[in-house]
Structure 1
Amino acid sequence: MSKLLIYSRHFGLHGRPFSLLPDPNFVFWSAIHARAYAMLEYGLATFAPIILITGEVGAGKTTLVRHLLHTAASDLRIGLVSNAQAGRGSLLHWALLSLRQPIEGRMPYVNCFAQFEALLRAEKARGRHTVLIFDEAQNLSVSMLEELRCLSNLNSENDELLQIVLTGQPELNRLVDRPAMQQFAQRISARFHLTGMPMEAVGKYIAHRLKIVGAEQEIFSPAACELVSSASRGLPRLINQICDYALVYAFADDRTAVDADLIRQVIADRKLSSPTASAEPDE
């Protein structure tokens, strides 16, 4: 912690600007992220049964989900299921736990389903509807996705009870686009694929995060930002990783600014130019 404080003070900052943890306080509305979030809002407003947001590893999907959780309207009851996988418990158990519902021992499926449906209808009676968000949904099995499709059958023309939001990596798109998944795909009424930011947005992203923690002058040169953009492919997590290391290097060298040469050192030392460089949990 003391090293972090010295690192921050060196640049006149009051926090760490490039943490790898998803933080809605740092959300940056690039054009691509604004479109992704607009599609998420559109899906919720039009009561899309299933909403699908995919993107590269580190593209910012989880940060958008966290922003939704912090800004959701009071008429939404939201449950977040992170990293559910086949063989790690019943999907309905995951759903009930995310909605803070007690589960007594090994409840039979029919009891879980009855409890889940009762919750949805109770929320509807209060003027609210329920949203289940499955983050890292590429880990769901075909049978789990089929179970989600069946849960969406609880909706009818007169009862809009449940919406399902899936966020995941590109393989989730390939999974739901299989011919055998046609029925599931037909339930997806809002869909967006999140890519990396263009070069012109990366410098603004870096400046945005620095400003939030109190930066009053330019720390990364335009040439440094261009190199960060190229090495990261515009993916926020890789940008954060490169920039965080660059600030550590600059602090060690007693520099108050980061230039292109310093970014080259970071990329070479950390081998960050590879598309699979980051193995951290998703944004």
Structure 2
Amino acid sequence: MASSDAFYLDFFGLDRRPFTLLPDPGFMFWSPLHKRGYSVLQYGIMSCAPITVLTGEIGAGKTTLIQHLLSEIEDSITVGLISNAQGGRGELLQWVLNALGLPLGNDPSYVQMFQQLQDFLVSEYAEGRRVVLIFDEAQNLTVEGLEEVRMLTNINSNTDELIQLILVGQPELRDLILNPKMRQLTQRVAASFHLERMDEESVENYIRHRMKVAGGTGAEFTERACRQIFQQTKGVPRLVNQFCDFALLYAWTNETKMVDEEIVGQVVKDGVYFGGNSLEREMTI
């Protein structure tokens, strides 16, 4: 039996799976939306924006953009990445200190942790370094948590920001920030962008791009197949990946090196792809 890593790879002449669900900057596809989203992230950092916000649907490519940003960020910038931070007062500060590699003493008080962070920021500033904190999945923060995040931007030196925040999350994050209770936080947001789903043309280019990166020709999917995949996935990159992975698997089992309408129809008919069901539920809520 073929190994789980092989399957259709040799059959299509690929050196790796082109449609894994894990974010991989090596497969980065620069759709017009992703280019603009990335430009906003860069602008936020270069302009020393207190808070930059990036939102988008699940699987829209937010994490991939962040990983690409991390790979290109200047050495003079200290970055702390906080994924899925939750908790109340004090707990969030522990996430921050941990992300920056700062040691936590035995049961430190909130004041001690805040002072430790402030001392670190002042020290970095004195050495000509800036600190950027990235909160991924920030929609999971409570209103109280977001307020505590905002309080971090109060640590400054004259007109210079000692710390910059990038909040990344699903569309609910926008709703949280626009809450009237969050007026002070909203005033600190200097740059923001929402990643919409890809259009039909972008989905076709996305599929061909990933096939080429994986060692293929990019012509393994017919134009009509790409159109049907767009209809099934509504342009969500993660769902496109899931569907295309199944499509290649089906083509391999059918011993055909072309994913056409028939292959796409088989994937849909067999019910192995669940993404469309989640989209239907989302649209009826």
- Bin the TM-score by the shorter chain: over 0.9
Give the match's secondary structure for 1:165: strand
Give the match's secondary structure for 1:208: helix
Paired position in structure 2 for 1:281: none
- 1:31-110 matches, within 5 Å, as 31-86=32-87, 90-110=91-111
The amino acid that maps onto 1:70 is: S
Distance (Å, rounded) in 2 between the aligned partners of 1:5 and 1:277: 33
- Indicate the RMSD between aligned Cα atoms, in angstroms: 1.7
Equivalent pairs counted in the alignment come to 278
Q: Which runs of 4+ in 1 moved over 4 A?
A: none
- 1:180-219 matches, within 5 Å, as 180-216=181-217, 218-219=219-220
Q: Which runs of 5+ in 1 are unaligned?
A: 279-283
Paired position in structure 2 for 1:17: 18
The change in CA–CA distance for 1:141 and 1:272 in structure 2 (over 3 A counts) is closer
Instruction: Check conservation: 2:85, 2:141, Cα contact below 8 A.
Output: yes
Sequence identity of aligned pairs in percent?
A: 47
Q: CA deviation at 1:277?
A: 7.7
Q: CA deviation at 1:192?
A: 0.6
Instruction: Check conservation: 2:7, 2:249, Cα contact below 8 A.
Output: no
Identify the range of structure 1 (205-214 vs 267-276) with the bigger mean alpha-carbon deviation.
267-276
Instruction: Check conservation: 1:138, 1:169, Cα contact below 8 A.
Output: yes
Paired position in structure 2 for 1:232: 233
Give the match's secondary structure for 2:80: strand
Give the match's secondary structure for 1:51: strand
Distance (Å, rounded) in 2 between the aligned partners of 1:95 and 1:152: 13
Q: CA deviation at 1:221?
A: 0.5
Distance (Å, rounded) in 1 between the aligned partners of 2:98 and 2:163: 16
Q: Is 1:273 aligned to residue 272 of structure 2?
A: no
The amino acid that maps onto 1:38 is: S
Distance (Å, rounded) in 1 between the aligned partners of 2:155 and 2:274: 49
Instruction: Check conservation: 2:211, 2:218, Cα contact below 8 A.
Output: no
Cα deviation 1:152-199 (Å, max 9, x = unaligned):
011244432100000000111111111111111111000111111111
Distance (Å, rounded) in 2 between the aligned partners of 1:148 and 1:194: 23
Instruction: Check conservation: 2:53, 2:166, Cα contact below 8 A.
Output: yes
Give the match's secondary structure for 2:118: helix
Instruction: Check conservation: 2:88, 2:145, Cα contact below 8 A.
Output: no
Q: CA deviation at 1:123?
A: 1.2
TM-score by length of 1: 0.94
Q: CA deviation at 1:275?
A: 4.1
Paired position in structure 2 for 1:120: 121
Instruction: Check conservation: 1:18, 1:241, Cα contact below 8 A.
Output: yes
Distance (Å, rounded) in 1 between the aligned partners of 2:207 and 2:41: 25
Q: Which runs of 5+ in 2 are unaligned?
A: none
Cα deviation 1:36-93 (Å, max 9, x = unaligned):
1111111111111010100011100000011111111111101100001125971111
